[in-house]
Amino acid sequence: MDDEDLLREIDERLRAVLTPDAAAQRRIAARALRNTARPGARRPSILTAAAALVLLVGLATWLARRPRHPPSPTTLSISSSGALLIVDGDDGRRWVVGRPAESAPQGRYVIVVSP
């Protein structure tokens, strides 16, 4: 099936409908080349540049406050002694894990004052 002639005909019809006339083309070109800048037209670009500068300064400040090198992971050594589990970190910290100590019975005192 050869439909190239049909496609060419459709393309020519679309171009004929969508192509503006010569007067419209001149108006479009004149409007595009006309200098329509007003004195206040630069204000949005100045505000945009100022906002971008503030954003960059904030980002630079945030990046400068971050630590340069992430902290190295702590090495843990685990040992057990009976029912106790002792965990020692290479930074000097120590955790002792085991049953809670039995609390001593609290005594009750009676103070008698004679008159």
pLDDT digits (tens, 9 = 90+) for 15-72: 888 888 889 889 988 888 886 666 555 567 888 889 999 999 999 998 888 877 776 7
Q: Is the model's pLDDT at 1 over the cut of 60?
A: no
Q: Which of 7-11, 58-62, 105-109 has the lowest mean pLDDT?
A: 105-109
The burial of 86, by beta-carbon neighbours within 10 Å (0-12 exposed, 13-18 middle, 19 or more buried), is given as middle
Give the residue carrying structure tokens 């459709």: 10
Strand runs labelled E in the chain: 76-81, 84-89, 94-97
Residue 33 has a pLDDT of 85
